[in-house]
Structures are given as structure tokens and as C-alpha cells.
Amino acid sequence: VGVEFPDNFYSIIGELHNNAEAKEEQVIPFAERLTHLPKTKRRFYDEPTRLEFEAVVLDVFDNHIVMDNTFFYAEGGGQPADIGTVSGGDTVYRVVDVQVYDGVIVHTVDIPGRELEITKGDIITGKVDEKRRMTLARHHTATHIVNDAARKVLGKHIWQAGAQKFEDHSRLDLSHYKHISPQEIRQIELLANRTVMENKRVVTEWMTRTEAEQEYGFGLYQGGVPPGEKIRIVKVGDDVEACGGTHCLSTGIIGPIKILKTERIQDGVERIEFSAGAAAVRAMQKMEALLVDSAKTLSVPPEHLPVSVERFFGEWKDLKKENDRLKEELARTRVYRMLGDASEVAGLRVVAESVAGADSLELQKIATELLKHEDVVALLASDVEGVKLVASVGEKAIKCGINAGSLVREMSKIVGGGGGGKPSFAMGGGTDPTRIQDALARGFELVKAACKED
């Protein structure tokens, strides 16, 4: 049985493979102003290193300018827009945003407190911010390289689930069935930097969609499926993708690539965050400074940090265990002393005491120890972080009608708070430590009242 494949078979597969959520339909407030305008000629594709140009103004509205051609890159494909300036006569305006709407590129300029003096038909000069353009180009080309390196290390199943470029870093989201290990990250980083050092030429060409799909397959659409019959193909080393972004002319221009971190952002998707060029150097310097400062704090050379940290951590765990043991021993000692000082009420022993410096956990431990005695009612308080209250009631006391939850509720009201719990154990607290003794006295009165009723 013969099976016919449509000419756009790979486009369809690419659309299905792209698991990014569909964006809501874009609402363009000035859509009517753009319908009569021709598509803007994007000249940065033909002359990628040119940053200054002249253009004819086709329309002006509010603080937006549309020109017949531009070297400003409009935001798209996970790459932010270029910024820079446009000038007409002696007036210069900062370009703060560039967006494309159905092929028409709109430049937004900053005009605080004044009117735009550029009008339709003017010939103006545009100048793209070189530093931002090159920084974003480095990160965009580096994204292609890291994507290819990840595919080689992790396997051919890797698919780009999303990417976003910034001036100081980029992030790349990849479909992968498990967490990327530190060893795999080192391999990816090494392969990526090897491609940089080989200084391979970045090749771009325009092809019909059908030709491109037949030659390269649906792997073209790692970054999404671009519109149009003709698509721009970008080749960076072994990576080939349909891409409309700005790129370095060769991989050597990128500079070092440093992977900063990885994380699993959802089931089956791993995120790699990295920096390129000067941003990568700054990231490495920051890491180095942290290592040096940490080594200085521990009084060891940086290369001895792992062993020293492990040793200090082990010692800390041992000290913590010893501290916990001593706290438990102290709690038991306190319990013996409290039982000796307890007040007798109708055959019950009542402990009502404020334990200085005890946190909530320590109070609970003491109350739990006292709970082992059937005839004991414990009313404990502490002034750590406001007021902490804990009550425990033994089985014999519960049979007398004494309820720990009720006791704590009433005591907490006095210190400006609330609480409750089970008949045998309850916790609460408040904000007024000056009323702790009043709260304990109230609890003691309630115990005596319950015993009289019994």
C-alpha cells in the first residue's frame, strides 16, 4: 500500500513536537494603522555587521515609528529586541522597543514630556546599540551550540522545548527523561567550548520550506516553526535550525560558554542556564570570588574546600546530635524537678511553669515526658518569639474532665493569641509575654475548678 506524504509533512510534525503553550491571540491597539503599510525590509539579514542606516518614515503615531527598512531586530524567537537611537535633524530619540506585526516593524521611542518631531515622509537615521546587539547575538549563537552539544551527550531524542536569550545569560529548555547529571553538564560545556575554539563559520541561507525539510528533516524546527514559504536556515557547527535571530559570523566571536545551573522545570523538561562571552567571564569571576571568600573563612586553600567542608559538616552533625542529647537530658532533669515541685490538686500533680529560653520544640519534649505520668497536668509557657504555650494531661486527669485543648484555648486568650489540640496534648501562644504568669494562673484555676466539679 502506497503512502503519500504532504509537502509540508515536517512542518506538521514540527508543530506537533513544539510543546510550548499557544499564546493568546495578540491584540494590537493600532492594527488599523498598519493595514495599509508594506512589510518592512529587514536589512540586518543582508548586512549583519552594519548598525547605522537611513530610512524613510512611512507612518508615525503616538511614540511609534514605521520605516521602509530597518537594521533593528524586532523581538522574536526568544530574543529581545534591539535598542538604539533614531534621529531626524538635530533631534535624537531613544529606541526602547521593536515589535513586528504581520511583517510591519514598529519602533517605539522614548519621548518623556515632549512631542515626536519626526513626521511621515522624513528621512531619518537609525543607529543600533552595538553592545546589546553583539551580546544577544553571542547568546543566540551559543544557544544553538549548547543545544547541539546536549544532543550529542544526552541522545538524539533531545528536543528544544523553549529558549530565551538575555544580555547576561540564556536559558535552554530541553525534553529529557531524567535529570542532567553534573558529569553530563561538564561534557556539554566542554563540547560547546570546543565548537567555539574551532571558530567555525556560521552559515545562513534562505530556502523554500519544502527544500529545507527534504534536506534537513523536522529537526529544523527545534526553535519552533517559522511562518512563510521561504525560511532562513542557520548552520552552527553540526546544528542546523530554521531561525530568524541575529548571530555571530563565526563561533570564535562568542567567547567562553559557562553553564551556570540546571533544573527540572516540569516533568520531562530540563532547563540549562548559561552565559557567553564577557558575561561568562563575569560569572566565572563571581564563582571564583565565592570560592576564595569561603576558603578564607575556613582558613584553607580553595583546592581543599571540598574536604574541609565535608569535615566541618560532619563535625557540625556530631555537635548537633550531642546538643540534642543534652537537651533531652536537660528536659528529663527538668521533669524530675518539676514533678518534685508540682502542686497537688484532688490527687493530681499540677505543673504550671514558665521555662525560660525554651522554644516550642523543647516545651513539647518536656510536656511529652510529663505525659507519661497518668496523674500529671502540665501547663508550660515560654517567652521565646512572643509566647509559646503547651499543655499535657495524663489519663487519670482526663477522666476527671480536664481537657488540654480547652486549657490552652483559655490561656492563649490572656496572652493575646489562640490555640487548641487534643484532650491529652495541646499547643498555643500569643503576643504578650508580660501576661504569661496570668495565663498559667488561669490554667491552674481551670484545673482546680474541674476537680471540684468532679
Sequence-distant (6+) residues with CB within 8 A of 269 are 161, 173, 174, 175, 176
Query: Is 70 exceeded by the pLDDT of residue 255?
Result: yes
The cell numbers describing 403, all together, are 481537657
Per the CB < 8 A criterion, the answer to whether 163 and 172 are in contact is yes
Note the pTM of the prediction, 2 decimals. Answer: 0.72
Kindly report, residue by residue over 425-444, the tens digit of the pLDDT: 999 999 999 999 999 999 99
Grid cell locating 412: 492563649
The residue ranges of DSSP E strands in 116-266, in sequence order, are 123-128, 159-165, 170-175, 203-208, 230-236, 239-242, 257-266
Separation CA 192–CA 201 (nearest Å): 15
Domains and their CATH numbers in the chain = 28-128 (2.40.30.130), 134-296 (3.30.980.10), 323-453 (3.10.310.40)
pLDDT tens digits for range 397-409? 898 889 999 999 9
Distance (Å, rounded) from C-alpha 422 to C-alpha 392?
9
User: How confident is the model over 382-390, as a mean pLDDT?
Assistant: 92
Cα–Cα distance between 442 and 248 in angstroms, integer? 77
251 pLDDT above the threshold of 50:
yes
Q: Mind spelling out the 3-state secondary structure of 108-145?
A: EEECCCCCCCCCCCCEEEEEECHHHHHHHHHHHHHHHH
Weakest mean pLDDT among 10-19, 292-301, 373-382, 414-423: 10-19
Measuring CA to CA, how many Å separate 74 from each of 34, 46, 95, 214? Answer: 16, 15, 11, 29
pLDDT of amino acid 247: 96
pLDDT of residue 9: 46
Please name the amino acid found at residue 45: Y
Give pLDDT, residue 25. 53
User: Side-chain half-sphere of 253: how many Cα atoms within 13 Å?
Assistant: 18
What is the mean predicted confidence (pLDDT) over 137-163?
A: 95
Amino acid letter, 353:
E
How is residue 274 written as a grid cell?
A: 548559561
Q: Is 346 helix (H, G, I), strand (E, B) or coil?
A: coil
Question: Given this model, what pLDDT does residue 10 score?
Answer: 43
pLDDT tens-digit map of 188-247: 999 999 999 999 999 999 999 999 999 999 889 987 888 888 999 999 999 999 999 999
Work out the pLDDT band at 334, boundaries 50, 70, 90: confident
Residue bearing cell 524537678: 337
